[in-house]
Amino acid sequence: MSKKKVKQVLKDTDMENQEVEVLENDDNEVVSDVVEEVTPTVDTIKDVIVSKKVVEEIIKPMVATPTIVKKEVEELHSKLDLPVDLSPATTKLLNTLVEEKNDLSINTIRNVLTYVKNMAPGQPVEATSGNKQQLDLYRSIVYMINNDSVSNFPLVYGLLLKIVDEFSEKGAFAPTHVFRFVNETHTNKEEIKGFNSLMNLLTATASNINRSNSAKMINFDRTLAIGFTDLGKARVLNFYSK
């Protein structure tokens, strides 16, 4: 007896053209089970067609999912009355926050979104107005961070970072726009420093990609030195420590 590798012919299957070992006797007669070339019959063709239909039925719901998500997001946008469009993931996260019914958290995020709309690139803004909006944003965020009535801080702060990330390339938090009015017509130098520190923190850690590494580059003692209470500092430090 000798072993010999031959090509299996299994048309319309995943094993087409695979090699198998077969046994032959001295007269080159195959004595083991070998699959011979099969000519497709009506029955085998029917089986293939049925299998294809089963696969298509499985795939159909998967293909329909993006449409469902888009519709759901549009409904959420209408329900939340958002001043700007957000990505599906950010919209869902915002809806989760709204369902918690924490007014301070919701109002803070609305202030951020209004800021994003009013301070968008190409939007005409006078220096005095721009400076006021930036400092109002700073005060709103710091107040939320310091306030113990905010029950789910990781949720609202994580949502804040997602919004900053979403508008950090071409939006209000882009490098060309985030600091553009902060030194204009404002005499409170401490708030200017606080705004600069907060925006540096938010923009540097906005993306959840390598956030932990970005956080290691932040001097938190200096960043949180202005405006933050002990509670606020502890919350921020705890968020980045996870």
Mean pLDDT of the chain: 77
Give the closest residue to 152 by CA, choosing from 210, 201, 99: 99
CB 236 within 8 A of CB 221: no
pLDDT score at 58: 44
Q: For position 35, what pLDDT does the model report?
A: 42
What length is written for the chain? 242
CA distance linking residue 211 with residue 187, whole number of Å: 34
| Gap between the Cα atoms of 204 and 169, Å rounded | 12
- Quote the Cα angle for 93-98-100, to 5°: 100
Residue 239: its pLDDT value, please? 97
Q: What is the pTM of this model?
A: 0.68
Contact in structure between 203 and 164 (CB atoms under 8 Å): yes
Per-residue model confidence as pLDDT tens digits over 111-139: 999 999 999 999 999 988 888 899 899 99
